[in-house]
Amino acid sequence: MVAAAMGAGYTIKHRDEFERMEGSGESTWLLARKALGTTCFGYNLVEIGPGGQIPEHHESGGGQIELYAILEGDAVFVLDGEESPAPAGTFASIEPSVSRTIVNRSEAPVTALLIGVDPNGNYEPMSWG
């Protein structure tokens, strides 16, 4: 395991050190942004159990652009109702108005990295992480 390290201008932590928060749809959020102290954009890991999914949503209100990356497992992106296979190594860049979710129809867990950025530089961290 990587030991946590902090120096002038950087923080290094292993994902096992991140605070975990149970979510709906058989998902567990690993609060990466909160653990590393980043304030200018959002990101977290989410582990999605077999048969689970993250909540479907869009970012029209806040204008946030999101990047989803499947790190482990075999997921499905559902974007504006269209399904796209998303095995490990698959990335999606998603504009604010697009409805989105990640679904796990496999028998094994899926781990995804979700990154959100306000293109106008007005990022506001979520209260939960």
The pLDDT of residue 31 is 97
* 29-34, Cβ contacts within 8 angstroms, sequence gap of 24 or more: 29/128, 29/129, 31/128, 31/129, 32/113, 33/125, 33/129, 34/125, 34/129
28 CB burial (10 A radius; 0-12, 13-18, 19+): middle
The pLDDT of residue 9 is 87
Residues paired with 20 in a beta bridge: 30
The pLDDT of residue 118 is 87
Distance, in Å, from the CA atom of 51 to the CA atom of 63, rounded to the nearest integer, reads 30
Instruction: Say whether domain 20-117 belongs to CATH 3.40.190.80.
Output: no
Per-residue pLDDT of the chain (129 residues; tens, 9 = 90+): 566 677 788 999 999 999 999 999 999 999 999 999 998 899 999 999 999 999 999 999 989 999 999 999 999 999 999 999 999 999 999 999 999 999 999 999 999 999 999 888 776 766 765
The pLDDT of residue 122 is 74
121 CB burial (10 A radius; 0-12, 13-18, 19+): exposed
In the chain, domain spans: 20-117
